[in-house]
Amino acid sequence: MMDFLVNYGGGLMALMGAFLAVSLAGIGSAAGVGLAGEAATGVVVEEPEKFAKSLILQLLPGTQGLYGFVIGVLVMLRIVPGMSLQEGVRIFFSCLPIAFVGWKSAVSQARVAAAGMNILAKNEDHFFKGVIYAVMVETYAILAFVVSIMLLFTTSI
């Protein structure tokens, strides 16, 4: 068992980090885009001309999944045969900020975007206020993404 960990543990830990970054951020984005899309259908069924604006609000929670995907790809490019367990654990923990913050912020952003659909439905002139509210949640996903990148490219602990 110890030989297995020494030989393959680093790569496996790094792969698990990539898996979490892509999966959790992706799950959050999928749920978020779905939730905002449900709200958008209520607006568009009554006023089809508001489709483009409702689509903007629906797409916002999808960005977290993209951030997780980028981290996953960067991790995959860093995995080398014989990677040390210490390096794999470091990479694993580098993935956690975007994995968890991406997941939660996508769902939270979707709730704000769905509320922004009410602004669009009731007063289209104030549509961008709803977008700004939703983008404020995005800030935390961006911060987590940047931290994951910084941790990923840190060479020593």
**CATH number (domain holding residue 36):** 1.20.120.610
Domain residues for 33? 2-152
Taking a C-beta distance cutoff of 8 angstroms, is the pair 62, 33 a contact?
Answer: yes
Per-residue pLDDT tens digits for 12-56: 999 999 999 999 999 999 999 999 999 999 999 999 999 999 999
**Sign of the torsion formed by the C-alpha atoms of 64, 70, 71 and 76:** positive
pLDDT tens column, 85-101: 999 999 999 999 999 99
Structural domain contains residue 102: yes
Which is nearest to 25 in space by CA: 79, 76, 95? Answer: 95
Domain annotation covers residue 119 = yes
